[in-house]
Amino acid sequence: MCKGLAALPATCLRSAKDMKHRLGFLLPKTETLSDHSSTSIKKDKTGATHRVNYKEVKEWSESFLKLISHKHGLVTFTEFLQSEYSEENIMFWLACEEYRKCKSPAKLASKAKKIFNEYIAVEAPKEVNLESHIRDKTRKNILEPTSSSFDEAQNKIQTLMQKDSYPRFLKSKIYLDLLNQTQARS
């Protein structure tokens, strides 16, 4: 996380224009697919096509879970959090989701330690904002890790994003510009 204006590296100094450019891949582009039809599509690096339309972008405002469960919604929200220097929250949340999928007890232990040291430990490189009792409970949970070792901490960060970051995201230039641009193209 970037701290202090004087210490900000160039990568942390992103203008709204830069964000718009970086999120430009979400906007539909019209390409002719055949002689008779044209459709709003965007091709990714693999050549697969992805539609991003006004309806999808509008649906992100219905709930936080709809936003983060949509591939492009998650990318856009992450970009927003980066602009606020709080991307560690979504990174931690995603790490917990990935951790929960792990089936190997041996891998659970190493992944649990890595997540704890990266996001939860005091002065961790990407420390998330947790109360000390949740931090302590999570520390105890990972001594004998299970797939639910991070549930309380993850829920706390999800609630924080849902109640704090998400409402700001819905009012942000990043979201409103994307919403307006997809509406204009539909």
Q: State the pLDDT confidence band at 186, using cuts at 50, 70 and 90.
A: confident
**CATH architecture type of domain 88-162:** Orthogonal Bundle (1.10)
Cβ within 8 Å of residue 161, ≥6 positions away: 64, 81, 89, 90, 93
- Where do the domains of the chain lie? 17-84+173-185, 88-162
Predicted confidence (pLDDT) at residue 2 exceeds the cutoff of 70: no
User: What's the rounded Cα separation, in Å, for the pair 170 and 90?
Assistant: 16
Which pLDDT tens digit goes with each residue over 70-94?
Answer: 999 999 999 999 999 999 999 999 9
Which pLDDT tens digit goes with each residue over 25-73?
Answer: 555 443 322 222 222 234 444 444 456 899 999 999 999 999 999 999 9
What pLDDT, on the 0 to 100 scale, is given for residue 31?
30
CA-nearest of 140, 133, 142 to 115 is: 142
| Number of residues that this document lists for the chain | 186
